[in-house]
């Protein structure tokens, strides 16, 4: 889907600040807790997975994704996964927060959990694919111009553009189906190099961009 998370290639966000040499892993204590809570929520508590977490991130609205900061959006996505799996009732977190502030609010009833009936075939994302790769190093390929309703790792800014295969990476499970618990559908993965002018026109700064793309995202250029 095309959501707020697909920001690559857009402008108007200001300059990028490079990290400092002594920058801490977590700027504030709560960020470390948010990181740990999200990892726990992702698997054991919600029964969901990394790709479902990414799909939760891209379903957030602008405020939840941007205004709450990096780890704030992690917490918002964790809450969404818990709601999806009926571990939390919609609005439960807001109601509890208001109650802790002294507001006279009624918290929603605890729902009956409904975790996905789904388990990966192995740990991690790498898999073995028996079929030979469709493309080889040096092939010119085009990223398909598609806009799936669900999760995808095909960035909007490369869709419909041509690039060159640089590396054939290890095969991996397909996030588009894994995020929705519809199977792993493992595929070959390619590092594809795009020219900046191909992506953003003649006035773009000159550079080469390399991105990893799944085989089903690509089509040959005749």
At residue 198 the predicted structure's pLDDT band, cuts being 50, 70 and 90, is: very high
Mean pLDDT of 127-146: 97
Angle between helix 70-84 and 29-40 (nearest 10)? 30
Enter the pTM of the model: 0.91
Give the H/E segment covering residue 70.
Answer: helix 70-84
Residues 6+ apart with CB under 8 A from 24: none
Is residue 94 pLDDT above 90, yes or no? yes
> What is the predicted pLDDT for the residue at 16?
82
**167 pairs with which residues across the strands?**
191
Mean pLDDT of 153-160: 96
Give the H/E segment covering residue 198.
Answer: helix 196-200
Structure tokens at 126: 């790498």
pLDDT in tens, 63-90: 999 999 999 999 999 999 999 999 999 9
Mean pLDDT of 107-122: 94
At residue 40 the predicted structure's pLDDT band, cuts being 50, 70 and 90, is: very high
Residue 127 CB-density burial (10 A; 0-12 exposed, 13-18 middle, 19+ buried) = middle
Is residue 191 pLDDT above 90, yes or no? yes
Mean pLDDT of 176-197: 97
Q: What is the distance between the alpha carbons of residues 215 and 197, in angstroms, rounded to a whole number?
A: 24
């Amino acid at each position: 889907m095309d959501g707020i998370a697909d920001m690559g290639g857009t402008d108007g966000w200001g300059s990028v600040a490079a990290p400092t040499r002594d920058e801490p892993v977590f700027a504030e204590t709560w960020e470390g807790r948010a990181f740990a809570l999200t990892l726990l929520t992702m698997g054991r508590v919600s029964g969901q997975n990394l790709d479902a977490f990414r799909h939760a991130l891209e379903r957030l609205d602008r405020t939840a994704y941007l205004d709450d900061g990096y780890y704030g959006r992690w917490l918002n996505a964790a809450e969404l996964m818990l709601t999806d799996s009926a571990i939390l009732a919609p609005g439960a977190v807001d109601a509890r927060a208001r109650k802790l502030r002294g507001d006279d609010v009624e918290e929603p009833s605890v729902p009956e959990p409904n975790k996905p009936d789904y388990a990966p075939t192995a740990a991690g994302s790498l898999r073995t694919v028996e079929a030979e790769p469709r493309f080889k190093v040096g092939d010119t390929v085009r990223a398909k111009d598609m806009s799936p309703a669900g999760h995808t790792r095909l960035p909007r800014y490369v869709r419909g553009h041509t690039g060159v295969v640089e590396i054939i990476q290890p095969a991996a499970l397909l996030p588009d189906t894994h995020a929705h618990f519809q199977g792993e559908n493992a595929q070959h993965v390619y590092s594809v190099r795009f020219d900046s002018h191909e992506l953003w026109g003649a006035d773009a700064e000159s550079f080469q961009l390399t991105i990893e793309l799944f085989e089903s995202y690509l089509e040959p250029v005749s």
